[in-house]
């Protein structure tokens, strides 16, 4: 059965493929059965082949390899005959042609990579065709179409970046290289500092590829705490931060940042009644924030793919902050099972952190369970909507202020609780111990500081 050149495509465009490489790979396997183990990782599906006959043959080879059967000329021929894919005469003749068409068995990985590269080009052409058709129809929102287009092309690239198994000695070399860079204080591999020294010592900072969950009851100050971290990373560490707020507008976030940096009360920023000294502090704070690589996004109900598309356009991101989890959309068909939706979102956020190799700090609400206990300290079981939140997160942080609950005691009650004291409870830590970090809360300026960094306006 002779090979035929197939030339289908978009508007007469010939789709790229290499019949010689496809024949060479199949011929090498027929001549030397061990070869399939060398190419199965590069070509893990028959879909990488373009010629229909080659797809059928390689699919049979892969199935036999997976089942532990010997893959050679005779066994492949018998398998194809049993599947009625080839008859005895033409099948035998075609397999013999393939066996004679391999220039060099030692180069089989190179031939396999040719096939993979041609497949990626065909996928790019096919994806571009679909994008053109959808754009021409005009039925899809342009923003959604752009996000979808970026995601599809990114998925093609991601398929090329998949790494296989590595011997432990190779991984150890990479590990020692990273330790050497850390020893030399190379910022490219160091965790991102939160600005809270005691917290950094417990969790070793915000590590790349980590999903960090920051949870608290409403009004406890989690948005303020997240903004404090974002401001420190952008202004002090001089890194790039993206802050997605699904609850507050960008203007509200900017106002909080100014209040925290200038130590001017948030109430005064809302009323505009400022002294000359406060104006000067605001101007100085504005200068500091103007130089920061801090990006704010106030898109309500944003999805993880939409975030990913925006972050890819931003490039070289060092930290992503999301406020907050329960307001996000899964992007799929809405269901009554919110637990399942949240599970899908947290799983995708963890994938996002790994793909972009950055820490993702995601805020979350807590259930009312903590308020029903005499000791109001939050627990992992208080995480709202899904147990997968705890499962997917590398680190879980809880914010707790005992003074928060004094409002329930009435205005005339005398409290011995320090209204400015707070804690960050490290409830889960894949990198070390769990602990409690003492904080100082400045409610007027909506900010937390570590005890050693405490200062008054």
Report residue 34 CA to chain centroid gap. Answer: 37
Q: What is the pLDDT of residue 321?
A: 93
- Token pair for residue 310? 């925006």
34: region left, alpha or beta (phi > 0 left; psi from -120 to 50 alpha) = alpha
- The pLDDT, as a whole number, for residue 159 is 57
Determine the Cα–Cα distance for residues 240 and 295; give it in Å rounded to an integer: 8
For residue 167, give both structure tokens. 């011997």
Of 363, 297, 320, give the one whose Cα is nearest residue 206.
320
Domains present along the chain, CATH in parentheses: 1-162 (1.10.860.10), 191-453 (3.40.50.300)
Encoded tokens for 16: 């790229």
Considering the entire predicted model, what is its pTM?
A: 0.65
CA-CA distance, 245 to 242, in Å (whole number)?
10
Do you find a cis peptide bond into 44, omega within 30 degrees of 0?
no
- Positive/negative CA dihedral, 441, 447, 450, 453: negative
| Cα(143)–Cα(121) distance, integer angstroms | 25
b (16+ CB within 10 A) / e for 16-41 = ebebebbbbbbbbbbbbbebbebbbe
Burial class (CB in 10 A: 0-12, 13-18, 19+), 179: exposed
* Residues 313-346 as b or e (16 or more Cβ within 10 Å = b): eeeebbbbbbbbbbbbebbeeeeeeeeebbbbbb
pLDDT confidence of residue 5: 38
Greatest C-alpha distance within the chain:
99
What pLDDT is attached to residue 331? 62
What is the Cα–Cα distance from 199 to 193, expressed in whole angstroms?
Answer: 9
Q: Is 335 left (phi over 0), alpha (psi -120 to 50) or beta?
A: beta
Angle between helices 338-356 and 304-314 (to 10 degrees): 20
Three-point CA angle 199, 203, 206, nearest 5°: 95
In the prediction, which pLDDT does 407 show?
A: 59
Phi, psi torsion values for 109, nearest 5 degrees:
-65, -35
Q: What is the DSSP letter of 449?
A: E
DSSP letters, 346-377, are HHHHHHHHHHHTS-EEEEEEB-GGGGGSSS--
Q: Which residues carry out catalysis?
A: 247
CA separation for the pair 145, 132 (Å, rounded): 10
From the first residue on, what is the mean pLDDT of each consecutive set of 10 residues in the chain (457 residues)?
42 78 90 84 85 88 81 86 77 83 83 89 86 79 74 67 58 68 63 86 87 87 88 89 88 83 75 77 83 86 80 84 83 64 84 87 84 78 69 86 66 56 86 84 76 52
- The first and second tokens of residue 162, run together, are 């998949």
145: nearest Cα among 157, 133, 158, 160: 133
CA distance 377 to 319: 28
In sequence order, the β-bridge partners of residue 429 are 395
d(CA 421, CA 427): 19
Instruction: Note whether 266 and 252 are within 8 A (CB).
Output: no
Which contacts (CB < 8 Å, 24+ apart) does range 332-337 have?
none
Rg (CA), the chain: 29
Residue 259, Cα to own-chain centre: how many angstroms? 31
Q: What's the burial of 445, exposed, middle or buried (CB within 10 Å: 0-12/13-18/19+)?
A: buried
The three-class DSSP label of residue 1 is coil
**pLDDT score for 302:** 82
């Amino acid at each position: 059965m002779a090979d035929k050149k197939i030339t289908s495509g978009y508007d007469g465009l010939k789709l790229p493929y290499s019949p010689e490489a496809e024949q060479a790979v199949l011929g090498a396997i027929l001549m030397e059965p061990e070869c399939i183990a060398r190419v199965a990782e590069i070509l893990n599906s028959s879909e990488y082949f373009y010629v229909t006959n080659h797809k059928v043959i390689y699919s049979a080879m892969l199935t036999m390899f997976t089942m532990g059967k010997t893959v050679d000329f005779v066994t492949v021929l018998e398998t194809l005959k049993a599947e009625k894919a080839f008859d005895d005469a033409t099948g035998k003749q075609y397999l013999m042609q393939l066996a004679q068409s391999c220039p060099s068995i030692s180069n089989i990985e190179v031939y396999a990579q040719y096939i993979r590269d041609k497949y990626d080009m065909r996928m790019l052409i096919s994806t571009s065709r679909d994008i053109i058709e959808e754009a021409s129809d005009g039925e899809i929102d342009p923003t959604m179409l752009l996000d979808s287009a970026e995601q599809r092309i990114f998925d093609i690239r991601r398929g090329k970046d998949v790494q296989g198994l590595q011997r432990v000695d190779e991984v150890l070399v990479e590990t020692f290289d990273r330790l050497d860079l850390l020893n030399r204080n190379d910022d490219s591999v160091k965790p991102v500092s939160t600005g809270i020294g005691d917290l950094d010592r417990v969790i070793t900072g915000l590590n790349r590829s980590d999903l960090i969950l920051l949870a608290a009851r409403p009004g406890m100050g989690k948005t303020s705490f997240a903004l404090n971290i974002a401001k420190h990373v952008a202004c002090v560490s001089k890194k790039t931060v993206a802050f997605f707020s699904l609850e507050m507008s960008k203007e509200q976030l900017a106002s909080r940042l100014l209040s925290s940096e200038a130590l001017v009360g948030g109430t005064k920023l809302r009323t505009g009644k400022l002294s000359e000294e406060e104006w000067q502090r605001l101007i100085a704070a504005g200068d500091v924030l103007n130089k920061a690589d801090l990006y704010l996004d106030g898109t309500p109900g944003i999805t993880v793919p939409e975030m990913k598309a925006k972050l890819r356009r931003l490039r070289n991101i060092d930290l992503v902050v999301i406020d907050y989890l329960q307001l996000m959309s899964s992007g799929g068909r809405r269901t009554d099972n919110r637990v399942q939706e949240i599970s899908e979102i947290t799983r995708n956020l963890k994938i996002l952190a790994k793909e972009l190799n950055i820490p993702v700090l995601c805020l979350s609400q807590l259930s009312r369970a903590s308020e029903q206990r005499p000791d109001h300290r939050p627990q992992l079981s208080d995480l709202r909507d899904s147990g997968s939140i705890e499962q997917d997160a590398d680190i879980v942080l809880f914010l707790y202020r005992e003074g928060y609950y004094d409002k329930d005691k009435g205005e005339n009650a005398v409290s011995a609780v320090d209204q400015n004291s707070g804690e960050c409870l490290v409830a889960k830590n894949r990198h070390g111990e769990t602990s409690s970090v003492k904080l100082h809360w400045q409610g007027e300026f909506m900010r937390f500081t570590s005890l050693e960094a405490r200062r008054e306006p």
